Chain A
Amino acid sequence: MTPKVLDIWVYLSATPLLGLTITLLVYQAAYWIYQRANFNPLLNPVALAVATLVLLLTLTGTPYQTYFDGAQFVHFLLGPATVALAIPLYAQLDKLKSLLLPLLAALLAGALTAIVSAVGIAWLLGASRTTLISLAPKSVTTPIAMGITEKMGGLPSLTAVLVVATGIIGAVTAKYVLDFLRVRDHGVRGFAVGVAAHGIGTARAFQVSEEAGAFAGLAMGLNGLATALLFPLLIWLFGRD
């Protein structure tokens, strides 16, 4: 780099503008590819965007904290977006009432499976205690999962990464798992993805159909609540520190 370009870089890399702009640019490029590929689940836009950003930050030697100073404005919106889930939830009120029992039973089964199987598998394969705690709330949306991990003495930032990875895995695999099980109802498909893979699964479900998306949003909200309420169970699983 010539000195002048270097000066501009030094200035820009110190402002939040760059981290914010690069997040939006990279995500939209990733989404464009995803759209071009007819929403093929294997080209998940979050996975593409994260991989590109990690590569860019590593190549430019930019610390994550510097990047996050800008990207936090996007991250912040997770809170209001969680509150906004009340609206699709309310829109499905009639269905919600008529399917109350199947929904609640599926929610409870799914929420427990998500926690117990993740911790169980990792424990069997010898993961550390910190990793186990950080894994436990992986199926719920980031602000909720981070809150839970923090209170239990895990690493909230590691949980955030595991939550995003879970969302990507859910969005990528759901179609194949549900096709294999011959689950065709869009309400059921959406709800299953929402319980297992929170917002990223929900975003994927909205791309498949409105009904799947609404049920996924509902599942995501309910599982956030259920997992937060199952919190005492987690403490019992790990014992208090």
Chain B
Amino acid sequence: MLGAITLLLVYQLVGEVIALAFKLPVPGPVIGMLLLFLTLLARGSVADGLRNTANGLLSHLSLLFVPAGTGVMVHLGRVAGEWLPIAAALIGSTVLTIAVTALVMRALMSRKERA
């Protein structure tokens, strides 16, 4: 587990360094994820320790958003002042995004099945 956590942190760090060095608009952890994905492709397998640690971390993914979400208390003034555009944008856009993504994917999948 220690090895796996170290590995994830090293990939994140390398990602951050690449993002900073080349002034990329892509955040470091995403570059780290891509690099790890490419490494796994090249290796052709995932070590058990890495898989278990990753699954453990991802199974509590929603916990990791709690500290940032609690930050709403700092922005209560702005959120209260602009509650209508914010609420309408969040709800409307999220529902639309789910619908558009699902419909586009399903349409292209069934066309593929028909072919």
Chain A interface (Cβ < 8 Å from any Cβ of B): 23-24, 26-27, 45-46, 49-50, 53-54, 57-58, 64, 67-68, 71-72, 74-75, 77-91, 93, 99, 101-103, 105-107, 109-110, 113-114, 117-119, 121-128, 131, 135, 138-139, 142-144, 147-148, 151, 155, 157-158, 160-170, 173-174, 177-178, 181, 183, 185, 188-189, 191-193, 195-197, 199-200, 202-204, 206, 217, 219, 221, 224-225, 228-229, 231-232
CA–CA, A101 and B73, complex, Å = 42
CA–CA, A45 and B63, complex, Å = 8
**Which residue of B51, B65, B97 contacts A195 across the interface (Cβ within 8 Å)?**
B97
Chain B interface (Cβ < 8 Å from any Cβ of A): 5, 8-9, 11-12, 15, 25-30, 32-34, 36-37, 40-41, 46, 50-51, 53-55, 57-59, 61-75, 78-79, 82, 84-86, 88-106, 108-109, 112
CA–CA, A124 and B21, complex, Å = 39
**Which residue of A54, A78, A85 contacts B73 across the interface (Cβ within 8 Å)?**
A54
CA–CA, A88 and B40, complex, Å = 11
**Which residue of B32, B51, B89 contacts A127 across the interface (Cβ within 8 Å)?**
B89
Sample 23 A-B pairs with CB under 8 A, ordered by A number.
Answer: A23-B66, A27-B66, A79-B12, A81-B57, A81-B64, A88-B54, A89-B33, A110-B97, A117-B89, A117-B97, A125-B84, A139-B93, A144-B29, A157-B75, A160-B68, A162-B90, A167-B65, A183-B103, A189-B102, A191-B101, A197-B98, A199-B62, A200-B62
Nearest chain A CB to B26 CB, angstrom units: 4
B97 and A161 within 8 A (CB): no
Given contacts A86-B37, A225-B34, 17 further A-B pairs with CB under 8 A are A53-B70, A74-B66, A87-B58, A99-B109, A105-B104, A105-B105, A117-B89, A122-B85, A139-B93, A161-B68, A161-B69, A163-B65, A165-B69, A169-B95, A178-B98, A181-B103, A183-B102
CA–CA, A128 and B79, complex, Å = 11
Given contacts A23-B66, A102-B108, contact A131 B86 (CB under 8 A): yes
CA–CA, A114 and B91, complex, Å = 11
Chain B residues, CB < 8 A from A124: 85
Chain B residues, CB < 8 A from A80: 5, 8-9, 12, 29, 57
Nearest chain A CB to B11 CB, angstrom units: 5
CA–CA, A112 and B73, complex, Å = 30
B74 and A195 within 8 A (CB): no
Given contacts A83-B29, A90-B40, A110-B104, contact A64 B86 (CB under 8 A): no
**Which residue of A77, A88, A113 contacts B64 across the interface (Cβ within 8 Å)?**
A77
Nearest to A117 among chain B residues (CB) is B93
Nearest chain A CB to B108 CB, angstrom units: 4
Chain B residues, CB < 8 A from A117: 89, 92-93, 96-97
Chain A residues, CB < 8 A from B57: 77, 80-81, 84
Chain B residues, CB < 8 A from A68: 67, 70-71
B71 and A82 within 8 A (CB): no
A192 and B78 within 8 A (CB): no
B61 and A81 within 8 A (CB): yes
A173 and B98 within 8 A (CB): yes
A122 and B8 within 8 A (CB): no
Chain A residues, CB < 8 A from B8: 80, 83-84
Q: Most chain-A CB neighbours within 10 Å: which of B26, B85, B89?
A: B89
